């Protein structure tokens, strides 16, 4: 499989983790978001939104990280990203979406560029914006987190796959993470696993 990604994209980071957890061989096709490569005509032909990630399965191209992760779970059932019961699946999806739908979209690069270019926001204000929404989301997740090793249960799953990249972003923007000890414990355990460690932006071939 070929993953069109960017080394520091949270959404692409999620899919790298998912592919690694499923032990699926894949290759990176980097798209540098800083230079606008994601808006090139050849890429828009396969990913009309001009966003990363996009996963070329060999048969078709998938976009949107959560959709890709659920496809991976349906086509490669083990290890499962979601619990076996309906209530458990809803709970894990809720935590994943609290990150991927509520925190991440208003803090991604294209939004921050608009804040600066169209609304005149200076970098300190942009950094404060990012931290505000991370804090609001993490405060809720800290309350939602179950008393299990991972957000998804005894093994990492969809919610953990979303949490670790967002935690990386929180660190980048120097967010005070002390108020979130339960989340910190989950992140620490996840990062100790090769599937998460190998997907880290710092280990990406385009890092820098």
Give the model confidence (pLDDT) of 138-164 as tens digits: 999 999 999 999 999 999 999 999 999
Residues 37 and 124 in one domain: no
**Nearest to 158, CA basis, from 47, 80, 45:** 80
Residue 24, domain CATH = 3.40.30.10
Is residue 206 included in any domain, yes or no? no
Q: Which residue has the tokens 């796959």?
A: 161
pLDDT digits (tens, 9 = 90+) for 67-100: 999 999 999 999 999 999 999 999 999 999 999 9
Cα separation, 94 vs 14, whole angstroms: 16
Residues 74 and 117 in one domain: no
Last residue of a domain, one of 39, 63, 79: 79
The tokens describing 146, both together, are 């179950």
Last residue of a domain, one of 61, 79, 97: 79
Q: How many domains does the chain have?
A: 2
Provide the residue range defining the domain that includes 181. 86-195
Residues 191 and 93 in one domain: yes
Residues 35 and 116 in one domain: no
153 forms beta bridges with: 150
Residues 72 and 118 in one domain: no
Residues 72 and 94 in one domain: no
123 forms beta bridges with: none
pLDDT digits (tens, 9 = 90+) for 106-126: 998 889 999 999 999 999 999
Is residue 165 included in any domain, yes or no? yes
Residues 107 and 170 in one domain: yes
Q: Are strands 2-5 and 27-30 parallel, antiparallel or unpaired?
A: parallel
What's the predicted TM-score (pTM) here? Answer: 0.95
Residues 169 and 68 in one domain: no
Residues 48 and 136 in one domain: no
Residues 54 and 105 in one domain: no
């Amino acid at each position: 499989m070929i993953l069109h990604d960017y080394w520091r994209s949270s959404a692409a980071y999620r899919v790298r983790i998912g592919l690694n957890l499923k032990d699926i061989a894949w290759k990176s096709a980097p798209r540098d978001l800083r230079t606008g490569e994601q808006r090139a005509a050849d890429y828009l032909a396969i990913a009309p939104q001009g966003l990363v990630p996009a996963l070329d399965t060999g048969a078709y191209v998938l976009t949107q990280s959560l959709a890709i992760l659920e496809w991976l779970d349906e086509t490669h059932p083990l290890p499962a990203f979601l619990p076996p019961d309906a209530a458990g699946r809803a709970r894990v999806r809720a935590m994943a979406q609290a990150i991927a739908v509520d925190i991440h979209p208003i803090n991604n690069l294209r939004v921050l560029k608009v804040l600066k270019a169209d609304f005149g926001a200076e970098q300190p204000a942009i950094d404060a914006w990012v931290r505000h929404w991370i804090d609001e989301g993490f405060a809720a997740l800290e309350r939602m987190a179950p008393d299990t090793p991972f957000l998804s249960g005894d093994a990492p799953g969809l919610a953990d796959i979303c949490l670790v990249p967002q935690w990386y972003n929180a660190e980048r923007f120097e967010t005070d993470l002390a108020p979130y000890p339960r989340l910190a414990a989950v992140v620490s355990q996840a990062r100790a696993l090769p599937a998460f460690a190998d997907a880290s932006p710092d280990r990406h071939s385009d890092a820098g």
